[in-house]
């Protein structure tokens, strides 16, 4: 089964997202746990979540991907900023248990001049404080483009974070096609080589989701500007290879392209047409 979805707005609740996903040919979706810029999260509407959980089961939805606010920084030099990330993420993990057994993705953060090793230590220590043995949610580190002092622009950095987290079975990685290409991993010319390298450094058994985005910028630009599928520097042929790759094709794919819902519907149709069902 091809597991494909896109980023949807959370504002109208879970059941609304489920129905919207279904209406555009998706069988999963990504959503922000709260306003991506702010901290305020609406109280969970238990009835809405219960209706959604039934809906998702009924329609055979694949694992969902929640995305943490991208303004959080687990490795800021400012202790208050780190504490804020800690509080928000701990609360997000409580909220995630209303929809059990899904994924929660976050950007590792920017070390802002503290040095990458210090940043990695702070990210791991935050995770070691908030992860719980009884949680059903898996937390994913996103591969980053390496702009500025971003941590996670190399597979080695992600591996080092994972190595320092105690509850390893609660962790994983989400690979973003735009970010890795911008970071200098050439998935256009050598997808097999990049996948092999990922397996060698991190392990493919720790890869749980793919963000499927084209890039507005050339290879190794360290920029992070997403483009519509087939309209950027990765190109449609690359995406056909990515979604059909024997080591990736079982994973859930999430579009974060610059689109409204109708544009996502079109891209999902396009990708479904490219996914081989032999
Ligand atoms: Fe992201
Ligand atoms: Fe992403
Ligand atoms: Zn991005």
Handedness of CA 199, 200, 202, 206 (dihedral sign): positive
CA 101 / ligand 2 centre spacing (Å)? 20
Query: To 10 degrees, what angle do helices 191-201 and 155-164 make?
Result: 20
| pLDDT band per the 50, 70, 90 thresholds, residue 276 | very high
- Closest residue by Cα to residue 26 from 265, 260, 213: 265
CA 257 / ligand 3 centre spacing (Å)? 9
CA 254 / ligand 2 centre spacing (Å)? 8
Q: Which residues pair with 207 in a beta bridge?
A: 173
Q: What is the pLDDT of residue 42?
A: 84
Look up residue 213 and give its two tokens. Answer: 């985005």
Ligand located closest to 175 CA: 2
pLDDT digits (tens, 9 = 90+) for 153-206: 999 999 999 999 999 999 999 999 999 999 999 999 999 999 999 999 999 999
Write out the residue range of the structural domain in which residue 150 sits.
3-274
CA 197 / ligand 1 centre spacing (Å)? 22
Query: What CATH number is given to the structural domain containing 190?
Result: 3.20.20.150
**Distance from chain centroid for Cα 219:** 21
Q: What is the pLDDT of residue 37?
A: 72
Strands 3-8, 30-32: pairing is parallel
CA 66 / ligand 3 centre spacing (Å)? 15
CA 278 / ligand 1 centre spacing (Å)? 32
Number of domains present in the structure of the chain: 1
Q: What is the pLDDT of residue 38?
A: 64
Q: Is pLDDT at 48 greater than 90 in this prediction?
A: yes
Report the distance separating Cα 6 and Cα 277, nearest Å.
Answer: 21
CA 157 / ligand 3 centre spacing (Å)? 18
Q: What is the pTM of this model?
A: 0.98
Ligand located closest to 107 CA: 1
Q: What is the pLDDT of residue 278?
A: 65
Does residue 257 contact residue 229 with C-beta atoms inside 8 Å?
A: yes
CA 256 / ligand 1 centre spacing (Å)? 8
* Percent over 70 (pLDDT), the chain: 99
CA 134 / ligand 3 centre spacing (Å)? 31
| pLDDT band per the 50, 70, 90 thresholds, residue 46 | very high
* Percent over 90 (pLDDT), the chain: 95
Apex CA 47: angle with CA 62 and CA 38, to 5°? 75
Q: Is pLDDT at 35 greater than 90 in this prediction?
A: no
Report the distance separating Cα 226 and Cα 53, nearest Å.
Answer: 31
CA 132 / ligand 2 centre spacing (Å)? 25
CA 85 / ligand 2 centre spacing (Å)? 18
Ligand located closest to 141 CA: 1
Q: Is pLDDT at 126 greater than 80 in this prediction?
A: yes
CA 211 / ligand 1 centre spacing (Å)? 8
Give φ, ψ of 277 to 5 degrees: -115, 15
CA 144 / ligand 1 centre spacing (Å)? 8
- Closest residue by Cα to residue 32 from 65, 55, 5: 65
| pLDDT band per the 50, 70, 90 thresholds, residue 41 | confident
3-state class of 254 per DSSP? Answer: strand
Apex CA 257: angle with CA 205 and CA 81, to 5°? 70
As a whole number, the mean pLDDT across the chain is 97
CA 28 / ligand 1 centre spacing (Å)? 17
pLDDT digits (tens, 9 = 90+) for 73-112: 999 999 999 999 999 999 999 999 999 999 999 999 999 9
Ligand located closest to 72 CA: 1
Does residue 111 contact residue 118 with C-beta atoms inside 8 Å?
A: yes
pLDDT digits (tens, 9 = 90+) for 200-250: 999 999 999 999 999 999 999 999 999 999 999 999 999 999 999 999 999
């Amino acid at each position: 089964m091809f597991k494909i979805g896109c980023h949807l707005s959370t504002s109208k609740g879970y059941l609304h997202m489920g129905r919207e996903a279904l209406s555009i040919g998706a069988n999963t979706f990504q959503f922000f746990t709260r306003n991506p810029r702010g901290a305020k999260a609406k109280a969970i509407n238990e009835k809405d979540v219960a209706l959604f959980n039934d809906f998702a089961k009924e329609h055979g939805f694949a694992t969902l991907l929640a995305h943490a606010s991208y303004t959080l920084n687990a490795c800021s030099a400012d202790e208050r900023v780190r504490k804020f990330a800690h509080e928000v993420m701990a609360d997000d993990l409580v909220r995630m248990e209303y929809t059990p057994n899904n994924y929660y993705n976050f950007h590792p953060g920017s070390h802002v001049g503290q040095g990458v090793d210090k940043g990695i230590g702070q990210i791991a220590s935050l995770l070691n404080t908030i992860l719980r043995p009884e949680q059903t949610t898996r937390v994913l580190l996103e591969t980053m483009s390496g702009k500025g002092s971003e941590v996670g622009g190399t597979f080695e950095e992600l591996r080092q974070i994972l190595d320092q987290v105690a509850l390893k079975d609660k962790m994983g990685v989400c690979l973003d096609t735009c970010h890795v290409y911008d970071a200098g991993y050439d998935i256009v010319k050598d997808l097999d080589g990049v996948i092999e390298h990922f397996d060698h450094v991190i392990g493919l058994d720790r890869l749980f989701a793919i963000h499927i985005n084209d890039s507005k910028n050339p290879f190794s630009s360290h920029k992070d500007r997403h483009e519509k599928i087939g309209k950027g520097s990765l190109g449609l042929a690359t995406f056909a290879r990515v979604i059909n790759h024997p080591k990736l094709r079982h994973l859930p794919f999430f579009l974060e392209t610059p689109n409204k819902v109708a544009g996502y519907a079109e891209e999902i149709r396009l990708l479904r047409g490219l996914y081989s069902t032999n």
